[in-house]
Amino acid sequence: MANERTLSILKPDATKRNITGKVNAKFEAAGLRIVGQKRVFLSRREAEQFYAVHKARPFFGELVDFMISGPVVVQVLEGPNAVAKNREVMGATDPSKADAGTIRKEFALSIGENTVHGSDSLENAKNEIAFFFSECEIVG
Ligand code: ADP
Ligand code: MG
């Protein structure tokens, strides 16, 4: 399995409830290493840019409002098959459909306030990591 990096975001519902450590424990238990991490407050422009792929979706406005409703923690996770592994640990977008033991099953409040973002392909992971991190902020 190839060693990969993926972009993760602990969303405002996680920072608000002070459960970032609990979520990070899930990543680490799954063999993912947090090799870059910072707490940031996204501007509306940054959130719109980051989620530009969803611009035409009916939930876009709600999603952007939520992502700027509090601080987030942006992270680079590293490990074997990190992109798919992280999606597995996150669970389905809708927490009511997420498997037992996943982050979203345990912590998400709703389909919108679902605690974590994770890149969905290696190519998107590269672009999303570059959106938030410079190379010297990632220490493997
Ligand atoms: P994922 O985060 O699992 O990759 P998507 O890329 O489809 O899911 O959607 C991005 C984010 O938009 C979701 O994580 C969630 O916060 C929000 N979202 C998705 N679908 C809905 C919906 N039907 N209603 C409200 N928010 C949604
Ligand atoms: Mg997605």
Under a CB-based contact definition with an 8 Å cutoff, are residues 10 and 116 in contact?
yes
Pocket perturbation via mutation, ligand 1, pick of 86, 111, 113, 124 by most ligand atoms within 8 A of CB: 111
Whether 117 sits among the annotated catalytic residues: the reply is yes
Please tell me if the CB atom of residue 87 comes closer than 6 angstroms to any atom of ligand 1. Answer: no
Catalytic residue among 82, 117, 118, 119: 117
Q: What is the pLDDT along the chain (140 residues), one digit of tens a residue?
A: 889 999 999 999 999 999 999 999 999 999 999 999 999 999 999 999 999 999 999 999 999 999 999 999 999 999 999 999 999 999 999 999 999 999 999 999 999 999 999 999 999 999 999 999 999 999 99
Order of strands across the sheet that contains 3-10: 33-40, 72-80, 3-10, 116-118
